[in-house]
């Protein structure tokens, strides 16, 4: 086989088939076949899996057909394939811009817009300068946070489409420039824009930027399954199965009933075990055994000692370390945080320690916005565990002691809700057109009993055409209206939700119909309309006599 096309045809695939199986765009596959796109290690691995070939064979075929850089169509920008090796001496006169951008964001300066102006020419000439891109994105986020939600005007979505078109035309660096200049200045965390940046960076030979795009999108959208699914797929494509497991676990936390994510997590855990032990998985029994051995590979004491070792190594690091050493110690502290979280499942002190380490990591690398978002996530986890402990203790108490515990629970609940609100507001600021982000913001307001403020984001969420998000938003809107004693408006929201469900089959839709109908019947009782309520209770009873207390209500009436 002399080319990727030969391998594809031998596998009986079209370009579209190969793109779908490998998780790449068809334009990327086309570029790889004609030598206009340079393949990265993750791309090679994804293609090898899709073609059922040895990655080494696929890599050699791609290397043999890769067009020399000077023969490729000229672009307004030129990029290097190894971002990690960027030399500041390459900046020349632009080194002045880079130093001023750093000064603008240090200490009490916080001149985010000035930093963006300094960084813009740097990134236009040196798109491979990852550290500058991270600082730019941090500045974009901070600048956006100062703009009230009501005053934010998202740029036309057509700019993302234009970037797509440039990517399809084989000009990935031009696509990156459109995204940086027209989209990220308004919507730094936009999932679709970051996904296009990811693909464009891969095509341009910027693997670290490609990684950063997906990790950043996930950090700015901690409640959106789509962001973590993209991240999990990427980690799997480059063989980082442990990181893929982390992303899949987040999906399951967001959506506990996601069976597809649970299955993918089991498979990925097995692949991680296989990679570390270099064992070939032969059957399901072996897979389960590998998962079990992975979980118990370190005892509690061993984990604690490893955490101490990694933290000590990080604290002994020198600010003048070369980038490779700094990145290694950063990875070490991340591992210490992961182990502390595992220990924290049974000991709150270690979960709090994980939060302390995460704050240390975020302060040590202030230009990495992903780390700051992870502080928020861990803060929520600590609050949840405190709540669970306090509730368990309250069950054993009585009298004044129980009242004291109840006050403690309310305090922890309030702390958790405030953190969730901050996270939700940041997600909406990053991506105001995303309905799921608006839904989470509405829920966060409701948790704090700020029902009037919850109405606006919930009304935006209900415009999403996907059945599920819109229905949930309408149901929550009805709850907000009830809290405001606007019962008639609450009934209208339920009616609209029921109309949306009409004709939509399936068990999930059936359960939603029963839940909404029951809620509407209860609203009729509030409006002193017992006849209408009785009819609805009877309709539910005719479908499911075990649903809530409809049997008692029907027979009692």
- What is the pTM for the complete model shown? 0.54
C-alpha to C-alpha distance for 135 and 122, rounded to whole angstroms: 12
Q: What is the pLDDT of residues 297-308, one digit of tens each?
A: 556 787 888 888
Model confidence band, residue 348 (pLDDT cutoffs 50, 70, 90): confident
Lowest-pLDDT range of 103-117, 182-196, 290-304, 310-324:
290-304
CA 542 to each of CA 304, 511, 525, 554, 556: distance values in angstroms, whole numbers, following the listed order: 58, 14, 20, 10, 15
Establish if 30 belongs to a structural domain: yes
Q: Is the pLDDT of residue 536 over 90?
A: yes
Lowest-pLDDT range of 48-57, 134-143, 438-447, 455-464:
48-57
Q: Which domain holds residue 309?
A: 298-355
What is the largest distance, in Å, between two alpha-carbon atoms of the chain?
A: 85
C-alpha to C-alpha distance for 38 and 31, rounded to whole angstroms: 8
C-alpha to C-alpha distance for 423 and 149, rounded to whole angstroms: 14
Q: Is the pLDDT of residue 324 over 70?
A: no
Domain boundary among 335, 355, 375: 355
Establish if 453 belongs to a structural domain: no
Q: What is the pLDDT of residues 403-415, one digit of tens each?
A: 888 888 888 888 8
Lowest-pLDDT range of 22-36, 47-61, 170-184, 422-436:
22-36
C-alpha to C-alpha distance for 197 and 177, rounded to whole angstroms: 10
Q: Is the pLDDT of residue 68 over 60?
A: no
Highest mean pLDDT among 7-21, 60-74, 140-154, 275-289: 7-21
Q: Is the pLDDT of residue 195 over 80?
A: yes
CA 400 to each of CA 257, 397, 407, 413, 524: distance values in angstroms, whole numbers, following the listed order: 39, 9, 11, 20, 39
Burial 348-386 (b: 16+ CB within 10 A, else e): eebbbbbbebbbbbbebbebbbbbbbbbbbbbbbbbebb
How many domains are there within the chain? 3
C-alpha to C-alpha distance for 210 and 81, rounded to whole angstroms: 12
Establish if 327 belongs to a structural domain: yes
C-alpha to C-alpha distance for 499 and 503, rounded to whole angstroms: 9
Tell me what pLDDT residue 320 has: 52
Model confidence band, residue 154 (pLDDT cutoffs 50, 70, 90): low
Q: Is the pLDDT of residue 72 over 50?
A: no
Alpha helices in 179-240 (DSSP H): 191-203, 207-220, 225-237
For residues 471 and 512, is the Cβ–Cβ distance under 8 A?
yes
Please tell me whether residue 297 adopts helix, strand or coil conformation: coil
For residue 38, the domain's CATH number is 1.10.260.40
Rounded to 10 degrees, the C-alpha dihedral 277/281/284/287 comes to 10
Q: What is the pLDDT of residues 507-528, one digit of tens each?
A: 567 888 899 999 999 999 999 9
Domain boundary among 355, 388, 404: 355
Q: Is the pLDDT of residue 290 over 80?
A: no
State percent of the chain over pLDDT 90. Answer: 15
Tell me what pLDDT residue 223 has: 78
For residue 495, the domain's CATH number is 1.25.40.10
* Residue (of 130, 150, 127) closest to 138 by Cα position: 130
Establish if 285 belongs to a structural domain: no
> In Å, how far from its chain's centre is CA 182?
22
For residues 446 and 479, is the Cβ–Cβ distance under 8 A?
yes
Domain boundary among 309, 332, 355: 355
For 140, how many CA atoms within 13 A lie in the half-sphere containing its CB? 27
Q: Which is more confidently placed, 201 or 30?
A: 201
CA 279 to each of CA 98, 198, 282, 283, 329: distance values in angstroms, whole numbers, following the listed order: 48, 32, 9, 12, 29
Mean local confidence (pLDDT), 424-451 = 86
In whole numbers, what is the pLDDT of the chain averaged over residues? 79
Highest mean pLDDT among 135-144, 417-426, 448-457: 448-457
Establish if 113 belongs to a structural domain: no
Mean local confidence (pLDDT), 475-480 = 94
Establish if 513 belongs to a structural domain: yes
Establish if 138 belongs to a structural domain: no
Q: Is the pLDDT of residue 132 over 80?
A: yes
Work out the number of other CB atoms within 10 angstroms of the CB of residue 528: 7
Establish if 363 belongs to a structural domain: no
Model confidence band, residue 167 (pLDDT cutoffs 50, 70, 90): confident
Lowest-pLDDT range of 20-34, 225-239, 297-311:
20-34
Q: What is the pLDDT of residues 362-376, one digit of tens each?
A: 888 776 777 777 888
Q: Is the pLDDT of residue 15 over 80?
A: no
Q: Is the pLDDT of residue 161 over 90?
A: no
């Amino acid at each position: 086989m002399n080319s990727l096309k030969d391998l594809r045809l031998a596998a009986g695939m079209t370009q579209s088939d190969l793109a779908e199986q490998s998780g790449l765009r068809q334009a990327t596959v086309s570029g790889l076949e004609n030598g206009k796109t340079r393949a990265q290690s993750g791309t090679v691995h994804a293609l090898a899996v899709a073609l059922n070939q040895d990655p080494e064979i696929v890599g050699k075929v791609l290397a043999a057909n890769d067009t020399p850089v000077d023969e490729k169509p000229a672009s307004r920008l030129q990029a290097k394939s190894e971002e990690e090796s960027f030399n500041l001496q390459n900046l020349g006169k632009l080194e002045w811009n880079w130093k001023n951008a750093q000064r603008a964001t240090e200490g009490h300066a916080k001149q985010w817009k000035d930093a963006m102006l300094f960084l813009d020419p740097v990134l236009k000439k040196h798109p491979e300068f990852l550290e500058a891109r991270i600082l730019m994105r941090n500045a974009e986020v901070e600048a956006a946070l100062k703009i009230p939600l009501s005053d934010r005007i998202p740029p036309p979505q057509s700019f993302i489409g234009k970037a797509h078109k440039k990517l399809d035309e084989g000009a990935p660096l031009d696509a990156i420039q459109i995204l940086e200049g027209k989209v990220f200045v308004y919507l730094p965390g936009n999932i679709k824009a970051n996904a296009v940046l990811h693909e464009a960076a891969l095509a341009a030979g910027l693997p670290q930027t490609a990684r950063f795009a997906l990790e950043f999108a996930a950090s700015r959208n901690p409640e959106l399954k789509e962001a973590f699914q993209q991240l999990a797929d990427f980690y799997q494509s480059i063989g980082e199965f442990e990181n893929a497991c982390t992303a899949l676990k987040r999906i399951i936390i967001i959506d506990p009933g996601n069976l597809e994510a649970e299955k993918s997590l089991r498979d990925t855990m097995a692949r991680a075990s296989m990679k570390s032990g270099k064992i070939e998985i032969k059957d399901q029994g072996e897979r389960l055994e590998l998962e079990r051995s992975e979980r118990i590979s370190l005892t509690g004491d061993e984990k604690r000692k490893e955490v101490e070792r990694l933290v000590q190594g990080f604290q002994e690091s020198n600010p003048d370390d070369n980038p490779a050493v700094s990145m290694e110690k950063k990875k070490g502290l991340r591992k210490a945080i992961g182990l502390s979280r595992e220990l924290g499942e049974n000991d709150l002190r270690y979960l709090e320690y994980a939060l302390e380490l995460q704050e240390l990591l975020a302060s040590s690398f202030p230009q990495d916005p992903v780390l700051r978002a992870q502080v928020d996530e861990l803060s929520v986890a600590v609050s949840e565990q405190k709540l669970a402990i306090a509730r368990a203790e309250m069950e054993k108490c009585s009298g004044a002691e129980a009242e004291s515990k109840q006050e403690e629970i309310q305090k922890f609940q309030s702390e958790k809700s405030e953190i969730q609100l901050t996270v939700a507001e940041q997600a909406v600021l990053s991506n105001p057109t995303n309905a799921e982000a608006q839904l989470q913001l509405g829920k966060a307001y409701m948790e704090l009993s700020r029902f009037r403020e919850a109405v606006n984001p919930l009304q935006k969420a209900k415009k999403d055409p996907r059945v599920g998000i819109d229905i949930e938003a309408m149901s929550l809107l009805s709850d907000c209206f009830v809290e405001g004693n606007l019962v008639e408006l609450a009934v209208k929201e339920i009616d609209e939700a029921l109309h949306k469900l009409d004709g939509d089959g399936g068990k999930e839709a059936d359960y939603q119909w029963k839940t909404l109908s029951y809620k509407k019947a209860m609203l009729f009782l509030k409006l002193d309309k017992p006849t209408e309520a009785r009819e609805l209770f009877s309709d539910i009873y005719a479908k499911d006599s075990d649903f809530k207390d409809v049997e008692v209500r029907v027979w009692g009436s």
